[in-house]
């Protein structure tokens, strides 16, 4: 019984640690995007094409972040399914 609880707690701990770290990273990226956008609004010397490149870069970063999150979530689901017999209460 103790091993079941330890396994369940380990999986939940790792999932929570990932969520907290991921959310911190996402918040940092969003803040940097906002700061960069404020800079770009004031940078009259930067051509519109350059601003568009930065916008596309942010979109690609968000898409990559979302893809990474979905893959990680799927991985946690697989681990939970794999250990389903072990972590049953």
Between 46 and 85, the more confident residue is 46
Q: Work out the pLDDT band at 1, boundaries 50, 70, 90.
A: low
**pTM of the complete model:** 0.80
Q: pLDDT per residue over 10-40, tens digit each?
A: 999 999 999 999 999 999 999 999 999 999 9
Q: What pLDDT shows up at residue 89?
A: 53
For residue 30, how far is the Cα from the chain centroid?
11
| CB atoms near residue 87 (< 10 Å) | 19
Half-sphere exposure of 29 (CA within 13 A, CB side): 16
C-alpha distances in angstroms, 28 versus 32, 33, 81?
6, 9, 32
Instruction: Find the mean pLDDT for residues 2-7.
Output: 81
Residues in the chain: 89
Q: pLDDT per residue over 50-85, tens digit each?
A: 899 999 999 999 999 999 999 999 999 999 888 876
C-alpha span between 57 and 15 (Å, rounded):
28
């Amino acid at each position: 019984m103790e091993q079941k609880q330890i396994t369940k707690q380990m999986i939940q701990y790792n999932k929570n640690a990932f969520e907290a770290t991921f959310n911190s990273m996402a918040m940092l990226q969003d803040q940097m995007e906002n700061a960069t956008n404020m800079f770009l609004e004031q940078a009259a010397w930067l051509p519109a094409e350059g601003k568009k490149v930065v916008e596309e870069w942010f979109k690609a970063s968000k898409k990559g972040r979302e893809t990474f999150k979905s893959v990680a979530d799927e991985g946690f689901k697989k681990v939970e399914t794999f250990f389903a017999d072990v972590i049953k209460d």
